Copies of this chain bind each other. A is one copy, B any other.
Amino acid sequence: MARKSSRSTSFDVAALAGVSQSAVSRAFTTGSRIADETRTKVLEAALKLNYVPNSIASSLTTKRTNIVALIIGNLDNPFYVHVLHTFSRRLQEQGRQVLIFTVEPNSESDEAIMHLLKYQVDGVVLTAAQLSTRMISLCHDRGIPIVLFNRYIPGSDASGVRCDNVAGGALIAEAFLAAGAKNFALITGDLKGTTSQDRVRGFVGRLLEGGVKRTRIVEVEGHSSYEGALNATAKLFRDQNRVRPDALFGVNDIMAMAAIDALRHRIGLRVPEDLMVGGFDDIPEGRRLPYQLTTVRQPIEQMVDETLQLLHLDDPTEPIPRGIDRPIKGRLIWRNTIPVPLSHRWTEPEIQS
């Protein structure tokens, strides 16, 4: 037996209210010419029939679905969960919804694009994943704006919003320098990702500027994950002959946390007494008692705001922004994994929420 999908339509409502179907449509469209009295009549009838406008049908004519696609590659990193949550909340406030596309971390999301095209989404946000330039123009040609969150694709005309990762990496380098570190280790993330590359570049660049020799900086791959960073840290300390670093930069917080765990529980080193460590992102987990991680905070709210602005959801007549790059400065949050140098003691105290 087929399911009785007794969904009433605008015609049903019109009949009950004794008006035309277009009146019903108008009653549900804010800012359309309709007498208050008529609207009330319609709304009452609608309530009786449990009528809810079919937005699938309306988007056929309006060409707006009020759906935004979010392609996300790494839900294991709490940072991106937070990003997802922020987007969802903001969009819901505007009467829009997030259609989620999960892809393998750092894999091509071309297939996802092909799918979201079918859904006629109003815009797409791409985060923690790769994308070919072909797909970008495929979207743009159809009038679908796409903005990259925290990554950019060299040679493409896609716009993007990101944390200023180079400057952020430099912030950690400065903190290490100020705390008197001499030998540095670096756990990098996804090698293909611009996010990790930039943080590394900013970090190393600032160190070099500060007179640190290249040989005093070791790099290991952490693959942006907790497990990856665990292995990376082990590798770092396997070679006993090498000089032991006294400062370690985890290119994101989960890797920095993994490093701390490995240091304490496997290597037997104390943080920050034996080794200081810095992170990047400022995920809530890094604030927890065992970590109290000194890190660079990414201003998620602001980044999401800028992203939404670039999407021009409210005005589809706006031309799609192309080639725009909005780097947003992060802020160093002093906590306990880097000793605070005396000169910094009384500045920038963190207001704990």
| A interface residues, Cβ below 8 angstroms from B | 1-7, 50, 52-57, 59-60, 63, 65, 67, 75-76, 78, 81-82, 84-85, 88-89, 92, 95, 97-102, 114-115, 117-120, 138, 141-143, 226, 230, 261-262, 264-266, 284-285, 288-290, 316-320
Q: Are B118 and A52 in contact (CB under 8 A)?
A: yes
Q: Separation in Å of the A234 CB from the closest CB of chain B?
A: 12
Least CB distance, A290 to chain B, in whole angstroms: 6
Query: Whose C-beta in chain B lies nearest to the C-beta of A75?
Result: B85
Q: A56-B120, A84-B75, A92-B102 are in contact. Are A5 and B142 (CB under 8 A)?
A: yes
In the complex, the chain B residue whose C-beta lies closest to that of A317 is: B2
Contact B289 A266 (CB under 8 A): yes
**Main SS of chain A's interface residues?**
mixed
Chain B residues, Cβ within 8 Å of A143:
3-7
Question: What separation, in Å, do the CA atoms of A115 and B115 have in the docked complex?
Answer: 23
Quickly give the copy total for this chain. Answer: 2
Residues of B within 8 A of A82 (CB): 75
Contacts of A285 in B (CB 8 A): 285
Measured CA separation A57–B60 after assembly (Å): 6
Please give, as numbers and ranges, the residues of chain B lying within 8 Å of A316 by CB-CB distance. 2-3
Contact among B7, B54, B102, B317 for A1, CB-based, below 8 A: B317
